[in-house]
Amino acid sequence: MEAYKEAIAECLAEPLGQPTETIVPMLRTPPEAAWGDFAFPCFTLAKAWRQAPQQIAAQLAQELTLAAPVAAVAAHGPYLNFTLDDDILSREVLEAIARQGERYGCGDEGRGRKAVIDYSSPNVAKELAFHHIRSTMIGHALKQILEARGYRVEGDNHLGDWGTPFGLLIAAYERFGWDDAADVEDIVQLNALYVRARNEAKADADFAATGRRWFQRLEAGDPQARKRWRWFVDVSLTEFDKVYDLLGVSFEHTLGESFFEPYMDDAIAELQARGLVTKSQGALVVDLSAYDMPPCLLKKQDGATLYSTRDLATLLYRRREWRFDTCLYVVDMGQSLHFAQLFKVLDLAGFEWAANCHHIPFGLVLQRNPESGKWEKGSTRQGNASLLKTVLEAAIRMARERMAVSNPDLADAELVARQVGVGAVIFNDLKNRRTRDVKFDQEAILNPQGETGPYMQYTQARCASVLATAPETIHVEPLYELLQQREERALVRKLAAYPDAVAEAARTWEPSVVAQHLLAIAADFNSYWTRGNKDPGLRILRPDAADLTAARAALTAAVQTVLCNGLKLLGVPTPDAM
C-alpha cells in the first residue's frame, strides 16, 4: 500500500509546489476506511497560503487533477481524502500476489546488511521452562521477518553453560553421585542435582567453597572437571533439541558462554588498553557511575569471570568474526540493565557499532494459579513453573481430542494435532506487543473462534477447501472489476498493506505487527465467507457465474497465500485441513 503514496503525492506536487519526497511522509491513513485510502493534512499550508486549512482542503478538492490509480478526492474538514481505483488496485495486488507467491511480503531494505540474533539462550542443566517460549519464538520470528526484508541473519543460541553454578554442579555430582539405574530421564536427574547443589551451597559454606574451586579447575582446563561439564551440556542439548524440533526452530550457531572463555582475557585487555578498567575491592570493574549505572563487573576477587565478562567477549567476537551490522538480544526485560551496561562499556571503548546493538525485551508469561485464580509468574526455583514441553504436549493432546470429535476422518491426524497444538501456543505468544505479559490459558488459546492460532489455521484451511472445490474456470484471466463488495474492497486493501506490515515488524522488531495484520485479514475473509453462506448472490463459488467465481477465487487464493506467508514468518504451521 505504501507504494501508492507516490501516486497521491504526484497529484499534489504541482499545486503545492513541493517535491513528492516531502509529500509522501505527510500522508496518513484516514480513521474511517470509507473516507478513503490516504489523507493529506492541510495544516502545514495554512501559514504560507494565508487561509484556513478547511478552505485549502475544499479548494484543492475542486482543483486537483487526478491520474490513475487515484480515482477520487474529497475534502473532509482540514483533510484531503484520496481513494484509489478499485479495479486497478485489485488487479495489481492480486496479480502481484499470484506472481510472487511465497515471496509476497519480502523486500530489500536489508540487502547487503547482516544481523546477528541472540535468542532462546537457556541455561544448561535445567529443563526448558515455559517462559523460554518467549525468547525462542520472538527470536525465531524476527529472524524470519528480517530475512524476508533482505537481511542476512545468523541466529546464535547463547547457552548459559559456564560460571560458578557449574562448579557447584560438579561438586554435587562428586558428593551425591549419579544414579545410573534411576528410572527418569537424565535431564530430570540433572535438574534435580542442580537444585540440590544450589540448596546445599546456601546451607554449607564448605560445599560452596568446593564448588568455587571446581569452577576454577574448570576454567583452568582440568580434564576431570571438563569431562563432567561436557556431559552436563550434552544431556541438556539432547533435551533442548527435542523441544526445538517440536517448535520448528533451529540456529546457525549454538556456541554457549563457554565457547568465549578463551577470549575473555583479550576482551578485558582491550578495555584496559583504553583505560576503562579499575580495581574495586579486589575485583576488576568498569565504573559507570557517571551514567547512573552500577559498575560492570569483569572479574571477581577470586579471578572468576562473570556473565558480563562473557557477554563482552561474545559481542567482540561476533563483531570481529561475523561482521554484523546489527546485533539483537532477545532477552527478558529483567536484563535491561545488564545490556545497557554492556553497550555502554563498548561505547566508552570507542566502538561505534555499539549503537547498532539492541536489547529486544519482552514481558512475562503468566499462568492462572488454580487455587487463587490469579495470574502468576511461575518460578523454576520454587518448582511451580511449567515445563515448555509439558505445555506443548498438553496443547497437542487437547487439539487431538477435539479433532477426534469434530473431524474423525482427518488424514494425518497426529501431524495436524501437533501443528494445531504447537501453533496455538506460538501464536498466543506473538499476537500482542512483545513487552506485554502473555496470559496463558489452554482453553482460550485453542478456541477456534478467538484470536488464536487455530482460528488462523482454520481460516487458511477454509481458503484451501474453497479453492479445492473451485471449477477449472479459475485459471482464466479474472475480471477484477467484479470485486465490488465492501468486504472484497477491504480485503484487497489489507492484502496490499501486508508487505508494509512485514516491513514495520522488521523496523520495530515487533512480530505482533504481522500477527495483528493477519488477524485483520482473517476477520475480513471470514465475514465475507459467512455473508456468502447466507446470501447465495455473495457466495464465492457461483456455479451460475463463471466470471464472478474466477475473480472471487483469485481473491481467496491471494488471502490464502498471504496467511501462509505471514504464519510462516511467525513459525505457526499451516495444515491444509483440520
**Which residues here bind ligand ARG, judged by CB under 6 A?**
118, 121-123, 158, 160, 311, 329, 331
Please give the Cα distance from 440 to 424 (Å, whole number): 10
**Which H helix or E strand runs over 358?**
strand 357-360
Q: Which is nearer to ligand ARG, 253 or 402 (CB)?
A: 253
Residues 6+ positions from 457 with CB-CB distance below 8 Å: 419, 420, 423, 567, 572, 573, 574, 575, 578
Nearest distance from residue 144's CB to ligand ARG, in Å?
Answer: 20
Nearest distance from residue 325's CB to ligand ARG, in Å?
Answer: 18
Nearest distance from residue 122's CB to ligand ARG, in Å?
Answer: 6
SS3 at position 152 = strand
State the burial class of residue 119 (Cβ atoms within 10 Å of its Cβ: 0-12, 13-18, 19+). Answer: buried
Angle (CA) 562-563-567 rounded to 5° is 115
Set of cell numbers at residue 191:
535438574
Q: Which is nearer to ligand ARG, 122 or 378 (CB)?
A: 122
Q: Which is nearer to ligand ARG, 123 or 144 (CB)?
A: 123
What residue number has its CB nearest to ligand ARG?
160
Nearest distance from residue 436's CB to ligand ARG, in Å?
Answer: 20
Please give the Cα distance from 22 to 39 (Å, whole number): 15
Q: With left for phi above 0 and alpha for psi between -120 and 50, is residue 319 left, alpha or beta?
A: alpha
Nearest distance from residue 331's CB to ligand ARG, in Å?
Answer: 4
SS3 at position 138 = helix
Q: Which is nearer to ligand ARG, 315 or 570 (CB)?
A: 315
Nearest distance from residue 445's CB to ligand ARG, in Å?
Answer: 24
Q: Which is nearer to ligand ARG, 69 or 160 (CB)?
A: 160
The total number of residues written for the chain in this structure: 578
How, if at all, do strands 38-41 and 79-84 pair? Answer: antiparallel
Nearest distance from residue 433's CB to ligand ARG, in Å?
Answer: 21
Q: Which is nearer to ligand ARG, 339 or 528 (CB)?
A: 339
Nearest CA among 317, 324, 316 for reference residue 346: 316
Q: Which is nearer to ligand ARG, 74 or 304 (CB)?
A: 304
Nearest distance from residue 330's CB to ligand ARG, in Å?
Answer: 8
For helices 223-247 and 132-148, the axis angle rounded to 10 degrees is 70
Q: Which is nearer to ligand ARG, 255 or 394 (CB)?
A: 255
Nearest distance from residue 118's CB to ligand ARG, in Å?
Answer: 5
Q: Which is nearer to ligand ARG, 114 or 175 (CB)?
A: 114
**Which H helix or E strand runs over 81?**
strand 79-84
CB 190 within 8 A of CB 178: no
